[in-house]
Every structure is written in C-alpha cells, then in structure tokens.
Chains A and B, each alone.
Chain A
Amino acid sequence: DQQVKQNSPSLSVQEGRISILNCDYTNSMFDYFLWYKKYPAEGPTFLISISSIKDKNEDGRFTVFLNKSAKHLSLHIVPSQPGDSAVYFCAASGYSGNTPLVFGKGTRLSVIA
C-alpha cells in the first residue's frame, strides 16, 4: 500500500521553463513533507520541506505547495536548468518530522537545453 505516490515516472522540460512535480499522499497523520533530489550512484540530497501548518514554502528557484484537503503537494522549479536533471523523491513523516520517512517512487526530470 503506497502511502506516498508520485504518479509520473518521468518529466521532460525545456531549459528556462517551469518544472512541476506532483505528489499525493493517503495518510492523514503525515504532517511534514520533504523533497529530495538524487543523482545516480549518490544518496538523496535534501531540497526543500514544508510543514502542514503552511501551504507554501519557497527557497530560491524551488517552491513547494501543499494542499492538505486534497492530500497533494507539488514542487515547482523556475527556471529549470540542465543541472536539475535528476530523480526527485517526495517524502513524508508524522509527528512533526524526525521520524522514519515514507518515500514515493520518484519522478525522473530531464531538462533539455
């Protein structure tokens, strides 16, 4: 039973355009959400997070939006750059973070120059 779902296995975007990666979750106990980026043969690298008390968090080119009623979050990357090409994982945890994370299967983003 997948509690965190990333329904798009891959996404291709032109350089300079917006990349939108989506994530849905089923467990209403989740209250902290994170996005990680992963290159081949490396561990996941933290990108941005959001607590359930917020609906938006921004860090440079990265913005995460949370819609609690729809149990949906999205990561926006603007403008997209070729170096953003990687696999992006959505993760969730309960109890305000710092507990085992539950990951989605990931979305492979390709930014085309």
Chain B
Amino acid sequence: DTGVSQDPRHKITKRGQNVTFRCDPISEHNRLYWYRQTLGQGPEFLTYFQNEAQLEKSRLLSDRFSAERPKGSFSTLEIQRTEQGDSAMYLCASSPEESTDTQYFGPGTRLTVL
C-alpha cells in the first residue's frame, strides 16, 4: 500500500504531557500538509512543507506546536504541554508539487487529552 500513513492511529494522554505524531507521505510527493479536525468541523489547515522547507504556518499553530520534515520524506508533529482543547483528529496529506490536483489524506491520528 503506497498511500499516506500516520502513526499512531489513536493517542490518549494526560494534560500537560508531550505527544508526537508521524506522517509518511506517498513516495515522491514533495508537499506535505497537516490539518486538524474537531467534532462538527471540517479539517483546518495547520502547516505545510515543500520538501524539508516549512512554507506556511496557520495562526492555529500555537507555540506549543512544532512540525518538522528533516529529510523531505516523513514528517512529525509535536504538541508540548497538551491541553484538553488539543483533542482532535490530526490529519496529514501529501501531493506532488507540480500537480494542480488532489491532496491525498492519511487515516489520521485521534488525540484525546484527559
């Protein structure tokens, strides 16, 4: 299967703990996106990379959030000092740089902060 993969699929943590999620995009996709989806809402953009360069960050991405894509392949999203309001589905998507088409989404990581 060469689709976008995310790990873990589910994460339960206590408030104040740090968590890290991983995303593996489709091979040779230059662009990688992170979105967050809460109940009753559509996905909301957090940040995106072209290769290893982080090109844009949403104002939703507070100082507690950091994302990396060190070798232009997989990406990690870390949340420090988690809060209950961070509970959401975190979605990763990838697309070829040259394409005007689709972003392909992974299955998401469901975060629950107790």
Chain A residues packing against B (C-beta within 8 Å): 4, 32, 34, 36, 41-46, 49, 51, 89, 91, 96-98, 100-106
Q: Is the CB of A104 within 8 A of B42?
A: yes
Chain B residues packing against A (C-beta within 8 Å): 4, 6, 31, 33, 35, 40-45, 48, 56, 58, 91, 93, 95, 97, 99-108, 110
Report how many A-B pairs have Cβ atoms within 8 Å: 62
Shortest CB-to-CB span from B55 to chain A, Å, is: 9
* Candidates A34, A43, A51, A104; contact of B102 at CB < 8 Å: A34
Q: Is the CB of A106 within 8 A of B42?
A: yes
Shortest CB-to-CB span from A56 to chain B, Å, is: 17
* Candidates A42, A44, A91, A98; contact of B100 at CB < 8 Å: A98
Complex alpha-carbon distance, A46 and B43, angstroms? 14
Known: A103-B43, A104-B42. A97 touches B4 (CB 8 A): no
Given contacts A98-B100, A105-B40, 7 further A-B contacts (CB under 8 A): A36-B105, A41-B110, A43-B107, A49-B102, A97-B99, A100-B45, A104-B42
Complex alpha-carbon distance, A34 and B104, angstroms? 12
Given the complex, which residues of B lie within 8 Å of A105, measured CB to CB?
Answer: 40-42
Q: Is the CB of A101 within 8 A of B103?
A: yes
Complex alpha-carbon distance, A43 and B89, angstroms? 9
Q: Is the CB of B43 within 8 A of A98?
A: no
* Candidates A34, A43, A106; contact of B91 at CB < 8 Å: A43
Shortest CB-to-CB span from A75 to chain B, Å, is: 15
* B3, closest chain A residue (CB): A43
* Candidates A41, A43, A97, A102; contact of B105 at CB < 8 Å: A43
Q: Is the CB of A98 within 8 A of B31?
A: yes
Given the complex, which residues of A lie within 8 Å of B107, measured CB to CB?
Answer: 41-43
Complex alpha-carbon distance, A104 and B40, angstroms? 10
Known: A100-B33, A106-B42. A43 touches B100 (CB 8 A): no
Q: Is the CB of B43 within 8 A of A44?
A: yes
